[in-house]
Structure 1
């Protein structure tokens, strides 16, 4: 009889940007640079909403804005452009990455500590199909509080935590 390993990696918690923040931006609230979001027509398939983590349909209106996924400015609080659906959508909060993330190639992943500083040894560039595995490996470290996934252009995609 052979022994089997029935231990699966712990689940991930994948989250879009907080609903309260998305709602404030949709009402014209300031982005990370103090500017109101800009409404634009989505063209093509590369327009992910950072709240619901779904792609904004070609021809739909999106909001374009600067986003900083940290509570306060500090040296490691990167800011970059993101998109949001112009109309309300449900926040993504699930135990798996959206299926379309497999096409997010290459993608950047890196862990952050409890002070929101980058844990340098965790930074990786991976294929979209390797994102879940990379997140599990980074979150296995005791000094990592959470992971950010970013596009190849360094645009924030989502936050990933331990399940």
Structure 2
């Protein structure tokens, strides 16, 4: 697997205050509650640190019916993009996680959709990626918030 946060180009664009998926400027807020994951570094934003809150569409190109938009958080302060063969350790605590495979056309492959405990997330994503019709997998929280994209290594 190859697990990555959102692109650094997209992250820097949003940090500069350019418009989100709804055409609005990202909001700046203080993180609180300990569950504020940055979608660039895939780390948790410390309570009291400044985060950006915005609408995000994790698909390139023209919007289409399966190109979902949802809220995400980003570190306001610079961070490094996550790029690893493994999920971040804290993903084991996503209870539950929602995963879906997508084809090269960015359309959901319905038969791949699963709701799994965080501790089973890696194995479930690897299993979905064995299907040749699946180009990548999205991980979402139980609230439907985009967490990351997983590609084949």
With structure 1 as the length reference, what TM-score do the two structures score?
A: 0.92
Match of 1:26 in 2: 15
Match of 2:71 in 1: 81
Q: Distance in 2 between matches of 1:88 and 1:115?
A: 32
Alignment of 1:112 onto 2:102? yes
1:149 Cα deviation (Å)? Answer: 0.1
Between structure 1 and structure 2, the one with the greater Rg is: 1
1:87 Cα deviation (Å)? Answer: 1.1
Gaps of 5+ in 2: none
Structure 1 residue runs of 4+, over 6 Å off? Answer: none
Alignment of 1:59 onto 2:59? no
Alignment of 1:142 onto 2:132? yes
Q: Distance in 1 between matches of 2:63 and 2:35?
A: 28
1:83-102 alignment, distance < 5 Å? 83-102=73-92
Q: Distance in 1 between matches of 2:144 and 2:5?
A: 16
With structure 2 as the length reference, what TM-score do the two structures score?
A: 0.98
Gaps of 5+ in 1: 1-11
